Amino acid sequence: MWNKIPCARSELELLFTLCGGQCFRWKRTGDCEWTGVFANRVWTLSQNNESILYRVTKCPGLETSDEITRNTGKSNSRVQSVARKGRSMKKPMCEVTYTENDKIGDTTKTRSDQSSLEDDLLRKYFRLDVSLEEHYAQWSKKDPHFMEAAEKFTGVRILSQDPIENLFSFICSSNNNIARISSMVEKLCVLYGNKIADVSGTEYYGFPTLAALTDPSVEKSLRDAGFGYRAKFINQSACKIMQMGGSDWLDFLQSLSYEEAKVELMKLPGIGAKVADCICLMSLGHLEAIPVDTHIYQVAVQRYLPHLRGRKTVTDKMYNEIGDHFRALYGSLAGWAHTILFCADLKMFQDSAKQKLGLHDIKPQRKKRKQEQAL
């Protein structure tokens, strides 16, 4: 059975939000249906024009901090997995098979406390407390180029991701495309994460803990798995984060200003300005962060800053100028507005954007997707 959260499609478009280079663990598993992992659960999401539909498989023995707060009254600082000692890499903790009878639209008739908790997790993940239509209107008034993109790319939301997963996923993004980043992140989870469940014959794993990634054998193992130079950065960054306080240090970065948090992140191996901005934007709550990649550079020089056209490389000065321009234009949520421009520039979304109806009938364009870069 499906659970349901009221949410207009203009407030959230799953295709653009889940497949636009912010996260790498969602796979298309049906028409207008995506399956992925967060908060130690396997989620299958769909939507219609009025609602988000979801069903979820929870991993017994693993809790999120929201559940610990609800059950004990003691809160942790952030939603993250609390893994018990020992990992079963061979046997799934549960098996679920969905059939054709589990039709989209068949929703639960009663609501349990568990469903209420999972509603909350999903609302936080998609930042549903933010009125997107209102901000789209404000940004469109300020920028005719944004207005043009907004007509086709409604419902693009910034996800609120777990900082550990977000950080290491974007270390994998260096000189990489979305398809290959997704493959690397999945390998990382299979090698070092806890198995959550088998769902319809597919195994799903949680993201590794920091401790798991600090083991001295990690670098060689990841090199053997095809991570290249990123293997060293993953292991070294995990060790350095642990030395600075682990998850508490990442929580501390959320309390800093955007500029201060970015400086601290760039002290980690494998994290430059763009990756630091991705982490600030997508998991630390600094929504003014502007990751400048090749897509955003091209958008900037073609429509906003033509004097930068023709430069062979993006210097630090140019990077900062582009970011400052968008922050001055869009304000405190500039990173959110910039993400709509980013999605509008992805070739993989061009056919979908031309469709006024039936986005769920568009088949994945794999050949094009392999060439797309993450944010």
Kindly list the catalytic residues: 274
Work out the number of other CB atoms within 10 angstroms of the CB of residue 364.
12
Is 339:326 a contact under the CB 8 Å cutoff?
no
Q: Is 53 within 8 Å of 4 (Cβ atoms)? A: yes
Adjacent-strand bridge partners of 261? none
CA dist 162 and 19 (Å) reads 17
Q: Helices (DSSP H) in the chain: which residue ranges?
A: 14-19, 65-72, 113-125, 132-142, 144-152, 163-171, 178-192, 210-213, 218-224, 230-243, 247-255, 258-265, 273-283, 294-303, 316-330, 334-345, 350-354, 366-369
Cα–Cα distance measured from residue 263 to residue 360, given in angstroms and rounded to the nearest whole number: 41
The rounded Cα 34 to chain-centroid distance in angstroms is 13
